[in-house]
Amino acid sequence: MNQPGAMGDFLRKRRNALTPADVGLMDYGTRRVPGLRREEVAMLAGMSVTYYARLEQGQHINASDSVIDSLARALALTEVERKHLADLSGNKPRNPKASRNRPDQARPGTKRLVDSMRVPSVVLGKRTEVLAWNQAGHRLVASHLAFEAPDTPSERPNLTRMLFLDEATRSLYPQWRAEAGRAVASLRLLSGRFSDDTGLAALVGELTLKSPDFATMWAEHPVENCMSGNKALNHPQLGALELGFEVLTVPDDSGHRILTYTAEPGSGAAAALDRLQRPSLTLARDGAELGQAV
């Protein structure tokens, strides 16, 4: 993954999204292009126009922390965006083994933790692939797939790929565009953090080629650390659900995360999630048995 090129793209996107008023500058006359000029960003960041132009052209890597901080101030970046810019700059240690496209594995302890949880839970790898899930998590997000699918690397579901390329998953989200935008922003953050991972780069390449929606969203270079929030689902058996989600990050350098879903106590959604816990459940909708266990 070309990180100097990605850094330049990110800087251009953020520069073009700002107006002079956003950063306290006077605007004189009509502008031929939207956003700030390179000269204005360079002035705000306290660097030469030539140096900033080279950053946008991908000619500089390993930018110092002070340069990153200056650019973050000039472009009014959030803390998440500032961290992403630092990742793209190459100013971090590289792990040569990270470039190998090796299948990942969830730790046994992580699997036991997820199995013991009373809420739908999914273990994700750094490429957004499913490393493990409990029964409720599987039934909630991918009941049309085999529960054992994560055990075989070549058959592992990938939540981002499914969101864009799998019709059953796409139909699960009535607010699909918002869900897809959140997924792309999160994947952008991962692509900066794990820039040497060829599997992650291959996923981005595949989705760019196969999904025009993904290609358009990716080109906007959104960045968001999606750790909690709400999701609307239209489950094929349980119907419409409003759920909260939390992402728990495993405290190591693996990039593994545990995605959990919860509902307000006493709500219809909470009752639906309780039904997902039953070992031999035949799911029903509107009081009618569907006749097949999920």
CATH annotation of 108-289? 3.30.450.180
Residue 158: predicted pLDDT: 97
Strand partners, 129: 158
The domain covering 3-92 belongs, at the CATH homologous superfamily level, to lambda repressor-like DNA-binding domains (1.10.260.40)
Question: pTM here?
Answer: 0.75
Residue 291: predicted pLDDT: 33
Residues 41, 74 contacting (CB under 8 angstroms): yes
C-alpha distances out from residue 174 to 155, 169, 194, 234, Å: 26, 10, 31, 6
Residue 262: predicted pLDDT: 96
Summarised one tens digit per residue, pLDDT across range 185-194 is 999 998 888 8
The residues, any chain, with a CB within 8 Å of residue 83's CB and separated by 6 or more, are: none
Three-state secondary structure call for residue 249: strand
Q: Where are the domains of the chain?
A: 3-92, 108-289
Task: Note whether 3-92 and 108-289 share their fold.
Answer: no
**List of the chain residues with pLDDT < 50:** 1-2, 96-99, 283-294
Please give the Cα distance from 225 to 87 (Å, whole number).
14
Radius of gyration (Cα) for the chain, nearest Å?
22
Residue 65: predicted pLDDT: 82
State the chain's mean pLDDT as an integer: 85
Residue 267: predicted pLDDT: 93
Residues 269, 260 contacting (CB under 8 angstroms): no
The residues, any chain, with a CB within 8 Å of residue 91's CB and separated by 6 or more, are: 62, 63, 64, 65, 68
Residues 38, 56 contacting (CB under 8 angstroms): yes
**Token reading at 49:** 């126009």
Locate all alpha helices (DSSP H) within the chain, ordered by sequence. Answer: 3-16, 38-45, 49-56, 65-74, 79-89, 108-116, 135-141, 159-165, 167-170, 176-193, 198-210, 212-219, 268-276
